[in-house]
Structure 1
Amino acid sequence: MTGIQQFFQRTSEQLQRFRGVAAGVAVSVALSGCGVVNHMVYKTTGDVMQGFAKSHTMPYLLESGDLAMGCAMSEATSPLLMSFGRVTADPDQLAVMLYLTAGGCAEEEAREHELEGLMALHSLKAEAAEDAMIRQKRAHALAAQRYYQAWKHHNTYYGHPDESECPDFDEDMDEFVYMAGLLTGLQALAAEIQSTSSIGVPKNIGSTVARATSCLNNEKWWGAPMALRATIWAMIPGALPEGEDAFERLEMADRQGEEAGVRLSHVFHALAAMNKGDNERLRDVIRNHADAIEAKPSNEEWTMVDKIATQMIVGISDRLWVENTGHRTPFGQLGTFWDDQSDAEVMDLDSLL
């Protein structure tokens, strides 16, 4: 082989090696570029989804009265919406509402298990009652985890109430989510206690929430901030300020809620009465709620909040009925009780067969 031939052969081999290296570099750059592009697409999608959920999905659901659908949506979409926190800012404010609603789903399951257990006890079925109570505790444990997750996202977004000043709210929805987040703190503690487990919910969260309610406009929010604060006063020993009457405040809040068509304060009032063992007051709250929802429809903008209040009042009424009769509140008879009916309830057994 001549020198010229050897030169061209070596040149050809070098060119082949160069093309191989160039191709590898090109593939690497292309793949890296795809990763960057994908990240940008995901981030943009996440930002759009978060903005849409806050501006449209949340208001739409709050105007809806279908609680079961809202429950299903929060449980189904929470992982999707929260996963965008991997590529963009964590959706902390949205997470408060997602985990609040999902926690409510688990708490509703716990109430159903409790009623099953009470009915089993009424029928002297000890094993069935015990099993229902076990399922109740499991559901409360799940509710506590979800509520506490909402509370932590609330603190991340707005700042911990004990460590920061009242936030500046840009719009009504920001203030509403702040109030909802305060509620999740109390619900997390209550659910943890009822589950007989421990997930680390601070035991002083009640006093923290009571102080933070002063950041909210009581009239704008249907008396609920004052009702929440008064409930804490009624339930925590030593929390009542001098010169205050927790139940007078609750009655005032009830009137505000009834006038606004958002009767959330009735729930707080009922819980405070239950904590005191005041069954007559508890019955009065249930009767007042039944009369109020009959007299005035829910506020269209906050329908879901009002429907949630009714659902919880029905749950409290059901518990009273089951403990005393073995069955829930008769359909359409919220506000009545087994021992104050003028006409005895007659069940048509033929219609059940």
Structure 2
Amino acid sequence: MVYKTTGDVMQGFSRGHTVPYLLESEDLAMGCAMSEATAPLLMSFGRVTSEPDQLAVMLYLSAGGCADEQARQHELEALAALRAMKAEEAEDAMIRQKRASGLAGARYLRGWQHHTAFYGAPGQGECPDFDDEIDEFIYFAGLLSGLQALNAQIQSTSSIGVPMNIGSTVARATSCLENDKWWGAPLALRATVWAMLPGAQPEGEDAFERLAIADEQGEQAGVRLSHVFHAIAAMNKGDEQGLRAVIRAHADSLGNRPSDPQWRMVDKMSTQLMVAISDRMWMENTGHRTPMGRFGRFWDDQPEQVETMNLDDLL
């Protein structure tokens, strides 16, 4: 009885206070470390009380992000080694990247499975009755876990059991969320799936027009998650100019609108992912990451014109 009571209290406290507190934080590394360190403890309470499925969605999404970040760093190391003509170092870094992607995918998949256990099969039947904003956000986080699991499985080049139809499933499930309320992100996620899956785009729709609309909503709300989806869609299309435009828009928006305090971590995570995309582009073309103070600009940009004064008349 003591264990059960403790488990119920820990679950309630984590959902009611820890999760909202972290969402207001801007220290992504600390949130990552917390999820990796406390997930076994918090999940073990499922042995003595009800399974903490909702909490698990957040824990495994965050822990998957930790492994994803490691994979991105290994990828940059591989690109640097390739430019330096160090084939063995490049191969080793690519192997480490695939291993980290496999770990990320396994974590994301667990988050998706807990999401399904709590809310039911997404995209099928009626939408869940949400209790509050955190309930809705965790539902959306579970959809992100599913999509991230598929992406990580592809990056790892190995099967970890992620259903290949998960993209279309997630796209349908976003209709359960109010687009205006959630910074345009549900629409952006849906449009990204349309852009990536052949035949998924409904007749009369344009995925990139929808992404542009979602971008404006995210910028105005101070939660720019839609930029990440837009960038993924542009990369999938091979549209480098479109990708650059999204990165520039994100960088410019950071100076125009601060993060929404309630969802600061989501916005900071979006920026981290956009910087990661920029880093990959810089590394491929210059051999180094995005220089400090240059996010939103590129190695081949023309130097800004400086207005000069003719001093001849003053002499």
What is the TM-score normalised by the length of structure 2?
0.96
Deviation at 1:82, TM superposition (A): 0.1
The DSSP-based 3-state class of the residue aligned with 1:187 is helix
Return the letter of the residue paired with 2:300: D
2:176 is matched with which residue?
A: 215
| Aligned residue among 128, 138, 146 for 2:89 | 128
Q: Distance in 2 between matches of 1:215 and 1:229?
A: 12
- Judging changes above 3 Å, is the alpha-carbon distance between structure 1 residues 260 and 162 closer, same or farther for their aligned structure 2 residues? closer
CA distance, structure 2, for counterparts of residue 120 and residue 164 of structure 1: 50
Match of 2:119 among 139, 144, 158: 158
User: Which residues of 2 match residues 217-236 of structure 1 at below 5 A?
Assistant: 217-236=178-197
C-alpha distance in 2 between matches for 1:241 and 1:163? 18
Question: What percent of counterpart residues are identical?
Answer: 74
**In 2: Cα distance, 1:192 partner to 1:165 partner:** 29
Distance across 2 between alignment mates of 1:329 and 1:139: 23
Question: CA shift at 1:164, angstroms?
Answer: 3.6
The one-letter code of the counterpart of 1:131 is: D
Supply the distance in 2 between the matched residues of 1:341 and 1:326 (Cα, whole angstroms): 19
C-alpha distance after superposition, 1:273-306 (max 9, x if no partner)? 0000000000000000000011111000000000
Q: How many angstroms apart in 2 are the aligned matches of 1:92 and 1:174?
A: 12
Matched, 1:294 2:255: yes
Q: 1:249 maps to which residue?
A: 210
Report the equivalent of 1:95.
56
1:115 aligns with 2:64: no
**What is the 5 A alignment of 1:38-77?**
40-77=1-38
The CA distance in 2 between the partners of 1:152 and 1:163, in whole Å, is 15
2:285 corresponding residue in structure 1: 324
1:266 aligned onto 2:227: yes
TM (normalized to structure 1)?
A: 0.85
Q: Deviations over 1:295-338 (max 9, x none)?
A: 11100000000000000000000000000000000012100000
- Structure 2 gaps, min length 5: 305-315
For the residues of structure 1 that align with 2:273 and 2:293, how far apart are their CA atoms?
15
Alignment match, 2:238: 277
Matched, 1:310 2:271: yes
Q: Distance in 1 between matches of 2:3 and 2:125?
A: 33
Task: Give the drift of 1:163.
Answer: 4.0
CA contact 2:98–2:157 (8 Å) conserved in 1? yes
Q: Which protein has the larger Cα radius of gyration, Structure 1 or Structure 2?
A: 1
RMSD, aligned α-carbons: 0.7
Gaps of 5+ in 1: 1-39, 344-353
| Alpha carbons 2:123, 2:170 under 8 Å: kept | no
Work out the CA distance in 1 between the residues paired with 2:101 and 2:289.
21
